[in-house]
Amino acid sequence: MPKTKTAFFCNNCGYESAKWLGKCPACSEWNTFVEEVIDRGTDTTSTWKNYHNTVNAKDAKILSLGEINTTEEERIFTKDLEINRVLGGGIVPGSIVLVAGEPGIGKSTLFLQTALQIDKIVTLYISGEESAQQIKMRADRLNIQNENFYLLTETVTQTIFKEIKKLRPNLVIVDSVQTLHSEVIDASPGSVSQIRECAAEFQRFAKETNTPVFLIGHITKDGNIAGPKILEHMVDTVLQFEGDRHYAYRILRTLKNRFGSTAELGIYEMNSQGMRAVNNPSEILITQKEDYLSGSAIAASMEGMRPLLIEVQALVTQSVYGTPQRTNSGFDLRRLQLLLAVLEKRGGFLFGMKDVFVNIAGGLKVEDPSIDLAVISALLSSYEDVPLPQQICFAGEVGLNGEIRAVNRIEQRIAEAEKLGFEKIIVSKYNKKGLNAKSANIEVVALGKVEELYSYLF
Q: 105 labelled as ligand-binding?
A: yes
Which burial class, exposed, middle or buried, applies to 221 when counting CB atoms under 10 A from its CB (0-12, 13-18, 19+)? exposed
Residue 223: which region, alpha, beta or left (left: phi > 0; alpha: psi -120 to 50)?
left
Q: 212 labelled as ligand-binding?
A: no
Q: What are phi and psi of 196, to 5 degrees?
A: -65, -45
257, HSE (Cβ side, Cα atoms, 13 Å):
23
> Which whole-number Å values give the CA distances from 200 to 14, 36, 42, 235, 384, in the listed order?
14, 17, 20, 9, 59
Cis geometry, peptide bond prior to residue 176 (ω within 30 degrees of 0): yes
Residue 89: which region, alpha, beta or left (left: phi > 0; alpha: psi -120 to 50)?
left
Q: 106 labelled as ligand-binding?
A: yes
Query: What's the CA gap between 5 and 43, in Å, rounded?
Result: 13
Query: What's the CA gap between 162 and 156, in Å, rounded?
Result: 10
Q: 107 labelled as ligand-binding?
A: yes
Q: 217 labelled as ligand-binding?
A: no
**In this structure, are residues 134 and 109 in contact, taking their beta carbons and an 8 Å threshold?**
no
Element (H, E) at 193: helix 192-209
Q: What are phi and psi of 238, to 5 degrees?
A: -120, 120
Q: Which residues are annotated as a binding site?
A: 101-108
Q: Which residues are annotated as a binding site for ATP?
A: 101-108
